[in-house]
Amino acid sequence: MSKIIITAAVVGAEVTRKDTPYLPITPDEIAEEAYRCWQAGASIVHIHARDEQGNATQDRQVYKKIIDKIKERCDIIVQVSTGGAVGMTPAERIQPVELAPEMATLSTGTVNFGEGIFINALGDIQFFAQRMQQIGVRPEFEIFDAGMINNAMQLVRGGWVTGHLHFDLVLGVPGGLPATARNLSFLVDSLPPVATWTVAGIGRFQLPMALMAVAMGGHVRVGFEDNIYYSKGILATSNAQLVERIARIAQEAGRELATPAEARQILQIVSSK
């Protein structure tokens, strides 16, 4: 079986300190959490930024602080969010891409997102994709529902995205595709054969979806952005704890962990910064 890439989504935009006291918020805290996840076996860290009040921000300077502090500590691949939080404008959301990180997320469709609507109009998706292509940032397609794979392939056919294709199948968002084995299998079957994929199960579906990905040869995403619990009613005390568990299980199942350098090869990220 191929090596497995673990992505740690350490903060997100929605979780608050009221939900979990263990949420990293400041650049130092987020960088330290990324480092601990790297030590535990993660090779990608998916980051969002927070302002001093703990609210989601796409401010380029805050992202810069986080990225610089991560790079001081380890060689984990930094993947910035272009999703930001519901209600942000495309101009706000694109900011961290301008820092030329190795990767960024690219959501390819609009979806109900709990009480809100996560809006991704076609023109905006093309704008994000174009800027990533100009700057040399590898996109990870964020797929919240089946039609978003078609939208991603439309971007590929239109030349907005070139090179290796990598998908994050986000299952279990209220308003998106539910996290079931059948849905995961259906999405994976809908991808082009050359693509790589990871799965992000939301809430209590994080672990079962990750287990399926381990068995199916996919990659996994864990972390507080998607789930704050270690088990029913018991908060995880760090993102690293969630990484450690899936790293241990994956290795037991014969999936060696990809180092960041190996993940760069698998995802064909050319420039190692």
Residue 48 vs 264, nearer CB to ligand KMH: 48
Out of 95, 107, 108, 196, the residue judged to bind ligand KMH by CB under 6 A: 107
| One character per residue 111-150, x = contact with ligand KMH (rule: CB under 6 A) | --x----x-----------------------x--------
> Is residue 58 a contact residue for Zn ion (CB under 5 A)?
no
Contact segment (CB under 6 A) with ligand KMH among 20-28, 78-86, 120-128, 130-138 equals: 78-86
Structure tokens at 122: 């076609």
Out of 7, 57, 81, 227, the residue judged to bind ligand KMH by CB under 6 A: 81
Residue 9 vs 214, nearer CB to ligand KMH: 9
* Smallest distance from ligand KMH to CB 139, Å: 10
Residue 122 vs 253, nearer CB to ligand KMH: 122
Strand-pair category, 103-107 with 111-113: unpaired
Distance CA 138, CA 51 (A): 26
> Is residue 169 a contact residue for ligand KMH (CB under 6 A)?
no
Out of 27, 41, 83, 201, the residue judged to bind ligand KMH by CB under 6 A: 83
* Smallest distance from ligand KMH to CB 14, Å: 6
Out of 30, 49, 85, 153, the residue judged to bind ligand KMH by CB under 6 A: 85
Q: Which DSSP state fits 174?
A: B
* Smallest distance from Zn ion to CB 200, Å: 9
Structure tokens at 159: 């030349």
DSSP letters spanning 117-146 = EE---HHHHHHHHHHHHHHTPEEEEEESST
CA 182 to chain centre: 22
Binds 209: which of Zn ion, ligand KMH, none (CB < 5-8 Å by kind):
none
Q: Within positions 66 to 85, which residues make up the interface with Zn ion, using CB under 5 A?
A: 81
Residue 173 vs 240, nearer CB to Zn ion: 173
> Is residue 86 a contact residue for ligand KMH (CB under 6 A)?
yes
* Smallest distance from Zn ion to CB 225, Å: 5
Strand-pair category, 116-118 with 56-57: unpaired
Residue 174 sits at φ, ψ, to 5 deg, of: -60, 110
11: Cβ–Cβ under 8 A, 6 or more apart, which residues? 23, 24, 25, 30, 33, 47, 48, 49, 50, 223, 224, 225
59: Cβ–Cβ under 8 A, 6 or more apart, which residues? 49, 51, 95
Residue 76 vs 85, nearer CB to ligand KMH: 85
51: Cβ–Cβ under 8 A, 6 or more apart, which residues? 57, 59, 62
The DSSP H or E segment spanning 240 is: helix 239-252
Residues that bind ligand KMH (CB under 6 A): 12-13, 81-83, 85-86, 105, 107, 113, 118, 142
Residues near Zn ion (CB under 5 A): 81
